[in-house]
Chains A and B, each alone.
Chain A
Amino acid sequence: MTTLLDAGPVLAALATVRDPELDEPITALGFVASATLSPAGAARVELRLPTYFCAPNFAYLMVADAYDAVSAVDGVRRAEVVLTDHFAAGPINDGVAARAGFAGSFQGEAVGELDGLRADFVRRAVLAGTDLVCRPLVGAGVEPAALAALTLGEVPPSPDLTRLRERRAELGLPAGDGAPLLVDPATGGPVPVDAVPLHLRKARTTRVNIEANTGICRGMLQHRYQTRGQGEEDA
């Protein structure tokens, strides 16, 4: 029997991988069925998703990101990431292992890579994060004109603010202390005072959508598997 090492560093690497639609780590969502590391440096990860038909483009991104994250862990010489119980598991697993890219993994069925799709979802995460950060401010009586004038450095620190800044930085949007709190996630431009109420409405709807989807996905996963994932956290 092979002895396995503490897979903690592998799990920590997997915690940096997010579901692009839900903007949560795949560990917290319960998508990591198992993660092991052998003394010879072979890491093996099994991923699982809420349904057999979860969108293959997003599934591919998670498997590929997991492969990259685990491969970069100190002491890992070989990484194997396997998606299970999914209709497109074959092409995804083979494609990621062969580093074929998305279009290469789905010969004849996909023409492009997924960078644009990923960026679109980070923009949604920025908008949703804007609601998380602004809601307490609005609740405390901050008016639209004041919100439009606020900078990131003037907002009280919080995990939500940190996350918002990280997502903005990922997109190349201004994320420093002097950058405006409210920006158009497509252009990075400021939001004029009279556009603030609608901007906040859209931010809230975007957040509600992500939360509702996360709720459905978690419910489906629970129904499908009675076991907890590695690093799974309750909502």
Chain B
Amino acid sequence: MYEKDGEKYFVVDSHMHYWNAAPDNWVPGAEQYAKGWIECFHAYQGLGPAETHWPIEKFMKYSEEDLMRDVFTDGYVDVAVFQPTYLKEWYAEGFNTTERNGLLAEKYPGKFILNTRWDPRDGDDGLKELRHNVEKYGSRGVKLYTAEWRQGSRGWTLKDAEAYRYLDACRELGIRNIHVHKGPTIWPLDKDAFDVSDVDHAATDFPELNFIVEHVGLPRIEDFCFMATQEPNVYAGLSVVIGGLMHARPKFFAKVMGELLFWVGEDKMTFGSDYGIWEPKWQIEGFVDWDYPSDEFSDFPRVTTATKKKILGLNAAKLYGIEVPAEYRLDPGEGTPAAQDDAALVP
């Protein structure tokens, strides 16, 4: 929890990691990709405040103690959601797998929500693994990477018939939240790998599932916004938005937040630190203190304390059924979005 000026914020970090990208985990022959990947992540950390930067050696493999301190002790987070990223073509044991995350989740009950993943190209074996992970870890969410190039396949989309089999299985297994990575990626080649139109199709056909678009489609925020405004079950995952822009480019951060509040709305935006790229502490402190910097932004929806409470934790708590203590909840009637007039513009 975080407290400022008498206001109490329940914090759910809905997008974070526990990875091993050190040389001991690099696949022989793919070292340049494993190294290039983590160096790229490390450059993102450079967009945060200087005093929060880590040396590359620590960044490649931070410890359990680092994570528990940065996220919970110093970082105000009440519940953190692990989002796995496999990348087994480069990292022998995977970059950040369900199993690796599971070690911490088991050791610290109540602190973590353990999401798993699937890839429709794994066919029946992948479905088996998904069932196994749900049984073993109780996963209620998944993280998907549609743009991943693999063995001659140049990615996949949520519209594919095979993906629908997996979405059916999610529905049946009680998985509610589908986090889709639409952001910086690996092998898009001749397609636009950031295309979010497949989320549109799946969200329409699976209304009982929630689709959280991580990194809000960056670098295609406009496509994401125009789509999300039409789908009640599409959410904006703010990982990278707060970490990558709030400190480094505050004016653009304000504009992006304004756009998201207008098109998507404060009830459908979720905070994610993207730890270990960025520590949650400065992001939460900065976001609670944040407002539009000038009158130039007067035609964007207003930001209230209730807006921030929802984004920092209450929205994600609802998605994952996390019990929020009474003192952190909003009073009845508090936090009604102020964008009613603007919403009339949206078809």
Asked whether A and B interact, the reply is yes
A residues sitting closer than 8 Å to B (CB atoms) are: 21, 50-53, 55-57, 87, 102-103, 106, 108-114, 117, 120, 124, 197-198, 201-202, 204-206, 208-209, 211-213, 215-216, 219-220, 222-224
5 closest A-B pairs by beta carbon, nearest first, are A223-B46, A52-B36, A215-B249, A110-B190, A209-B221
State which of A56, A198, A205 has its C-beta within 8 Å of the C-beta of B189.
A56
Q: Which residue on chain A has the smallest CB distance to residue B219?
A: A213
B residues sitting closer than 8 Å to A (CB atoms) are: 32-33, 36-37, 39-40, 43-44, 46-47, 149, 152, 154, 184-193, 218-222, 225-226, 244-245, 248-249, 252-253, 255-256, 258-259, 262-263, 345-347
Chain A residue numbers with a CB within 8 Å of B32 are 87
With both chains docked as a complex, state the minimum distance between the C-beta of B162 and any C-beta of chain A, in angstroms. 20
Chain A residue numbers with a CB within 8 Å of B256 are 208-209, 212
With both chains docked as a complex, state the minimum distance between the C-beta of A101 and any C-beta of chain B, in angstroms. 11
Q: How far is A223 from B42 in the complex, measured between Cα atoms in Å? A: 9
State which of B189, B193, B345 has its C-beta within 8 Å of the C-beta of A109.
B189
Chain B residue numbers with a CB within 8 Å of A224 are 43
Q: Given the known inter-chain contacts A109-B189, A209-B221, please indicate yes or no for A53 contacting B40, CB distance below 8 A.
A: yes
Can you pick out 30 interface pairs between chain A and chain B where the beta carbons lie within 8 Å of each other?
A21-B219, A50-B43, A51-B184, A52-B36, A52-B39, A53-B40, A53-B186, A55-B188, A55-B193, A87-B32, A111-B190, A112-B190, A120-B192, A201-B345, A208-B222, A208-B252, A208-B256, A209-B218, A212-B249, A212-B253, A215-B249, A216-B218, A216-B219, A216-B244, A219-B47, A219-B249, A220-B43, A222-B46, A223-B43, A224-B43
With both chains docked as a complex, state the minimum distance between the C-beta of A136 and any C-beta of chain B, in angstroms. 12
B221 close to A117 (CB less than 8 A): no
Q: How far is A224 from B226 in the complex, measured between Cα atoms in Å? A: 33
Q: Given the known inter-chain contacts A53-B36, A110-B190, please indicate yes or no for A206 contacting B345, CB distance below 8 A.
A: no
With both chains docked as a complex, state the minimum distance between the C-beta of B246 and any C-beta of chain A, in angstroms. 11
Q: How far is A91 from B250 in the complex, measured between Cα atoms in Å? A: 37
